């Protein structure tokens, strides 16, 4: 075998620890698959976990110093964050002509194009299989397995925390706040869960998938983002009655006006490939013009799955397999021509909480008619004159701008007890 691939690891948290264990436990197997041994030659973290098999490996409390002073071939960055130390050490390693492997979706979403250009100018790899969907090899699939296809759309469940919360709400009938607290206690949600439940994490990942799928520069700023805080147990029950499940999805799609990039709760058919994915699992669906629909499902986070993705990139580097970072040379990535959300066309679910009195439906129907929005069906269980009742409508395909105008008019009706709730319906 040829010379050892020397690896420096910055960050020894959950994923860093998993990566160390995988490299150690599977050392012989990895050497056979890569054609050369892979060895950790340095590591950096605020504290060195005593349980990790790092005897004799130089340890640094300062990742910047490790990157500047050590002799290594590839830096594995597992610190996290879009800037700060993570960005500093990645930029420095690339500047030294070293390969970089990272799980840092926020950094790629904000700085991916610049880092890809730097890596390609240096003739090194900038690998990020672990940044999207954990152990699912979706980056490799888009860049290599589906390279012969023009991708029409890519969508999926990109955040396991949100999928766990929505699944548990459906299975138990409990409300969002209670299930979120449980997810935090179990370690599925952070103490500050906003990046997950407000859709930011999924949007970071979607912007990366959009670049790979459509050959465009990563443009996180043009992702339409909504989270799941407003989804109620009542919405989930109505979704089941209508034959749907509610999922937080990231969707990128070619349209006549550009590429849609959107993250928001969706109602999807119960029996669809995406509708059956529950718990902390992720799933990604890519549709190509020659291959048709391909579905990828697996664990989207955690020490083992994410470490598996990190090491996949390391094996490619050790074996000398190099490809453009985003599937085409970074300098050939096109600026993203993003379709305006107002131009989106689709079906909608609307839930209203109204005082049950004569004339309310006429006012609602007038608002829909005036904006040329067509109702498909309506659900109301029982009557309670003078009391608050829930009314659910599904809407035929319509333009988002018209739907929003109608919602604003309906929300202004004095019989409304709370703002209308809108969830888009996707007929996958």
**8 A C-beta contact, residue 318 and residue 38:** yes
**8 A C-beta contact, residue 74 and residue 99:** yes
The Cα–Cα gap between 343 and 236 comes to: 27
Closest CA to 344 of 406, 295, 297, 399: 399
> Looking at 48, 105, 140, 205, which residue is catalytic?
205
Q: Is 372 exposed, middle or buried (0-12, 13-18, 19+ CB in 10 A)?
A: exposed
The Cα–Cα gap between 12 and 234 comes to: 42
The Cα–Cα gap between 254 and 236 comes to: 29
- Give the SS3 label for residue 169: helix
**8 A C-beta contact, residue 404 and residue 226:** no
The Cα–Cα gap between 332 and 208 comes to: 16
The torsion angle over the Cα atoms of residues 246, 250, 254 and 259, rounded to 10 degrees, is 130
**8 A C-beta contact, residue 251 and residue 230:** no
| 42 contact partners, CB below 8 Å, separation of at least 6 | 8, 9, 57, 58, 59, 60, 66, 70, 72
The Cα–Cα gap between 152 and 92 comes to: 37
Q: Which helix (H) or strand (E) holds 268?
A: strand 258-269
Task: Give the relative orientation of helices 360-370 and 400-411 as an angle to the nearest 10 degrees.
Answer: 150
The yes-or-no answer on residue 140 being catalytic is: no
Catalytic residue annotation: 205
């Amino acid at each position: 075998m040829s010379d050892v691939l020397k690896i420096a690891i910055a960050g020894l948290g959950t994923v860093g620890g998993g990566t160390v264990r995988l490299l150690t436990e599977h050392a012989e197997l990895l050497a056979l698959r890569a054609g050369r041994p892979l060895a950790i030659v340095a590591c950096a973290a605020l504290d060195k976990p005593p349980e990790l098999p790092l005897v004799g490996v130089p340890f640094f409390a300062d990742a910047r110093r490790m990157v500047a002073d050590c002799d290594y071939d590839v830096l594995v960055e597992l610190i996290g964050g879009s800037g700060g130390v993570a960005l500093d050490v990645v930029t420095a390693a690339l500047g030294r002509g070293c390969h970089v492997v990272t799980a840092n979706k926020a950094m790629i979403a904000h700085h991916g194009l610049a880092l890809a250009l730097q890596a390609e100018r240096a003739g090194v790899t900038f690998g990020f299989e672990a940044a999207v969907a954990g152990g699912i090899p979706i980056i490799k699939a888009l860049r290599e397995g589906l390279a012969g296809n023009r991708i029409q759309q890519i969508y999926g469940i990109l955040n396991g925390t949100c999928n766990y919360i929505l699944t548990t709400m459906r299975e138990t009938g409990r409300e969002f706040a209670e299930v979120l607290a449980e997810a935090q206690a179990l370690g599925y949600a952070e103490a500050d869960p906003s990046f997950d439940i407000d859709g930011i994490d999924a949007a970071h990942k979607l912007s990366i998938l959009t670049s790979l799928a459509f050959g465009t520069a990563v443009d996180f700023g043009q992702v339409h983002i909504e989270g799941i805080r407003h989804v109620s147990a009542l919405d989930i029950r109505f979704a089941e009655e209508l034959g749907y499940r509610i999922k937080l999805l990231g969707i990128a799609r070619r349209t006549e006006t550009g590429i849609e990039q959107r993250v928001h709760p969706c109602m999807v058919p119960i029996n669809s490939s995406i509708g059956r994915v529950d718990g902390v699992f992720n799933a990604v669906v890519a549709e190509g013009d020659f291959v048709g629909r391909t579905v990828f499902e697996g664990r989207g986070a955690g020490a083992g799955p994410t470490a598996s993705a990190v090491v996949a990139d390391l094996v490619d580097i050790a074996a000398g397999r190099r490809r453009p970072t985003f599937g085409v040379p970074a300098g050939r990535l096109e600026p993203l021509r993003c379709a305006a959300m107002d131009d989106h066309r689709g079906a909608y679910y609307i839930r209203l909480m109204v005082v049950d009195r004569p004339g309310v439906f006429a006012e609602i129907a007038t608002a829909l008619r005036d904006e040329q929005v067509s109702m498909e069906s309506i659900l109301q269980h029982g009557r309670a004159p003078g009391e608050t009742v829930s009314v659910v409508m599904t809407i035929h395909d319509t333009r988002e701008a018209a739907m929003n105008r109608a919602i604003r008019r309906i929300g202004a009706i004095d019989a409304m007890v709370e703002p209308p709730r809108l969830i888009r319906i996707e007929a996958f």
